Amino acid sequence: MSGVCCPARCRLLVKGMAPPGRTVRLERGSQTAPVTVGSRDAPEPLLTRRCRGRVKKERITTLALPTLTPEQRADALAKAAEARKARSELLAQIKSGEKSIATVLGKAKEDKTIGKTKVAALLKAVPGLGAVKVAALLEQAGIDPDRRAAGLGDRQRSALIDALN
């Protein structure tokens, strides 16, 4: 299968034991990337990459998702629904003013619901803050927009609270 692996438009030739169309993980040192296996199958799982005139061979491994029993699937769905409900209640409390963003961020390490909520979502729940102001605040505090509340460091948390006040 041909594809693009870098800005220089290198060609990827994927050969492997996985069936055609299956997505596998390409391991390149410590980095991994998903790659779809083409119709050319070979006995050994290798990726041949032609890049700037050089040929490189790299190992690939297949990703297998665990199969869940119907009971496990139902439990997982119920747990996910409960977590979504808790997050929406938290955001509603911030929006109504019952909880301040400073106290919520202070509890992020202990409370799983707060910890797994993205900082941008917490800030958007604050009245008067929209997507543009939240993006500016996060950039001013040096926080990645995809960061979750539990992943904030002490300096980031205090910089964010100071920027809000």
Q: What is the pTM of this model?
A: 0.59
pLDDT of residue 164: 85
pLDDT in tens, 82-115: 999 999 999 999 999 999 999 999 999 999 999 9
**Per-residue confidence band for 127, with pLDDT thresholds at 50, 70 and 90:** very high
CATH-assigned architecture of domain 81-164 = Orthogonal Bundle (1.10)
- Each domain of the chain, given as residue ranges in start order, spans 11-62, 81-164
Across the chain, the runs of DSSP E, i.e. the strands, are: 11-15, 23-28, 31-36, 46-51, 54-62
Would you say residue 23 has pLDDT above 50?
yes
Q: Given the structure tokens 């998702």, which residue do they identify?
A: 65
